[in-house]
Amino acid sequence: MKSIYLCFICFLALSCSTSPGKKLHRPPNIIFIMSDDHTSQAWGIYGGVLEQYAVNQNIKRLAADGVVLDNAFCTNSICVPSRASILTGQYSHNNQVFTLTDALDSNRQNVAQLIQKSGYQTALIGKWHLKDKPSGFDHFNILPGQGRYHNPILKNNDNWEYGNKGGKEYKGFSADVIMDESLKWLDQRDKEKPFMLMTHFKATHEPFDYPARFRNLFENDTIPEPVSLLDFDPQQSGRSFDGQILEILAERWRQASIKDNDRYPGLPFDTEGLDAVQSRKKTYQKFVKDFLKSAAAIDDNIGRMLTYLDDNGLVDNTLIIYTSDQGYFLGEHGMFDKRMFLEESARMPFVIRYPEEIPAGKRIDDIVLNIDFPSLLLDYAGIPQPDQFQGESFRKNLIMETPGHWRDKMYYRYYAHSINRPAHLGIRTDRNKLIFYYGLSLGLKGTYTDKATPPSWEFYDLVNDPLELENQYDNPNYQSTIKELKNELIQLREDFGDSQTDSPEMQNVISKSW
């Protein structure tokens, strides 16, 4: 009788402990928190000149309790396309969201729809930015477009109207309001079902506003500068484009000051009487202080979520992620904004905690893409990935068991062509990066000019030049590597189906430039 009892206990133990992909007998709750433009340089857990200035006690708490991704990247560094890829698991050429003006078709299959159908309660609160009515969510309460930092309007299913119409005003700072509504939904949900909550902050998007409680933060500080802040001439580094330089931001502030426009905080601003170096330095100080104050409100509210999980016994079986929709230049190369395939723009900060499975205090350097995020969520929810998803779950990577077939290179493409930031595509490995600026609008909506720019190439040795300070494309010592990367880039385009979308115009510029 004793031996029969022991066999039964062993059977129960085996039935409850399988592979990482099937380990748990109950699906975890999922909280996916995402900010806008909150780049890794400002997190304080990725090093850099801002490390000692970032308000990040709750981000650091998540990192200490979970896993940080050191090499997560978006495949098109601009808000709307990146968010579409995070939902659909597809590159832009497949989900048809190329630029800021495109909408995500509500009928296109996305991760929320699949998780909702599996029995999860689903909610989306905060920034949406994908224009069409959200699908796959039992509840949504979202900002129209970019939304407002102060007293934001949120739209739900009951007061939905397209565009900037509809919705209800909520008093307070946007990050605080978005977390208020997130916690309210958690309180009102069906406690017998698993849930997926997507909480999306407007911060830290331009105009980089912040709540009154952080108004005097950094008042007496001089923030350290990135080494490339005074990069005035792209030709000195061999860069192929001028970029969105800080002087553009300074001019926006000056114009807002003249017109008494309250869109930006901390005005008036001017650089009268300053030379080019002094002007850029002054612009940088205001810019980065505003940015860090805006980010401080995010960290505050992450802390509110962590406290809620603690107080309600939800820590162990809740997977919580914090990330940003892409990176952002904070004065590097003399620039602000994103879009480009340089590291500061394309890198996505990412931290994940899940005590039932993920080890604490670890970091991984595998190349992970935003198209992988929905695959991971489906894996944890126990849902098969549909064929049209192009990413892969990195669940095993998170427990330090990276699959042998895991990617060693990535593909990137940016479509919203302009003179100072040309349309381009590229490949990145753990050691090198090759970028082709094809410089064509290709008739797409949301580009900034139909005027073509001269095709050009950039190559960076990321081991010896991690800050991408010198384009080595013409260096004879790298020609064999560049040739190999060009061949691999062609193969990636074919593998992911992007080359099949090439117009005759695109085929022509590639054939002449490759």
At 27-51, the pLDDT tens digits run: 999 999 999 999 999 999 999 999 9
Per-residue confidence (pLDDT) for residue 115, from 0 to 100: 98
Q: What is the mean pLDDT of the chain?
A: 94
Q: What is the mean pLDDT of residues 59-77?
A: 98
Per-residue confidence (pLDDT) for residue 342, from 0 to 100: 98
Per-residue confidence (pLDDT) for residue 19, from 0 to 100: 42
Has residue 2 got a pLDDT over 50? no
Per-residue pLDDT of 409-465, as tens digits, reads: 999 999 999 999 999 999 999 999 999 999 999 999 999 999 999 999 999 999 999
Listed in sequence order, the residues at least 6 apart from 445 whose beta carbon sits closer than 8 Å to its beta carbon are 98, 99, 101, 102
- Residues 106 and 389: their CA atoms lie apart, in Å, by 16
* Three-class SS state of 435: strand
Q: What is the pTM of this model?
A: 0.94
Percent of the chain with pLDDT over 70: 95
Per-residue confidence (pLDDT) for residue 308, from 0 to 100: 98
Per-residue confidence (pLDDT) for residue 124, from 0 to 100: 98
Has residue 23 got a pLDDT over 50? no
Mode of pairing for the β-strands spanning 72-73 and 409-414: unpaired
Per-residue confidence (pLDDT) for residue 26, from 0 to 100: 84
Per-residue pLDDT of 84-120, as tens digits, reads: 999 999 999 999 999 999 999 999 999 999 999 999 9
Has residue 136 got a pLDDT over 60? yes
pLDDT band at 300 (very low <50, low <70, confident <90, very high): very high
Has residue 493 got a pLDDT over 80? yes
CA 297, chain centre distance (Å): 18
- List domains and CATH numbers for the chain: 25-211+294-407 (3.40.720.10), 213-283 (no CATH), 415-513 (3.30.1120.10)
Per-residue confidence (pLDDT) for residue 457, from 0 to 100: 98
Has residue 340 got a pLDDT over 60? yes
With vertex at residue 342, the alpha carbon angle to CA 336 and CA 347, rounded to the nearest 5 degrees, is: 90
Question: In Å, how far are 169, 175, 384 from 181, measured between CA atoms?
Answer: 13, 10, 31
Give me the half-sphere count of Cα atoms (radius 13 Å) on the Cβ side of residue 425.
24
Determine contact, residues 446/102, Cβ cutoff 8 Å: yes
Per-residue confidence (pLDDT) for residue 25, from 0 to 100: 59
For residue 70, the one-letter residue type is D
Q: What is the mean pLDDT of residues 342-349?
A: 98
For residue 393, the one-letter residue type is S
Listing DSSP states for 307-374 in one string gives HHHHHTT-STTEEEEEEESS--EESGGGBEE--SSSHHHHB--EEEE-TTTSPSSEEE-S-EEGGGHH
Percent of the chain with pLDDT over 90: 94
Q: Is the dihedral of CA 50, 309, 321, 357 positive or negative?
A: positive
Give the CA radius of gyration of the chain.
23
Q: What is the mean pLDDT of residues 256-266?
A: 93
For residue 444, the one-letter residue type is L
- Residues 179 and 301: their CA atoms lie apart, in Å, by 6
Per-residue confidence (pLDDT) for residue 80, from 0 to 100: 98
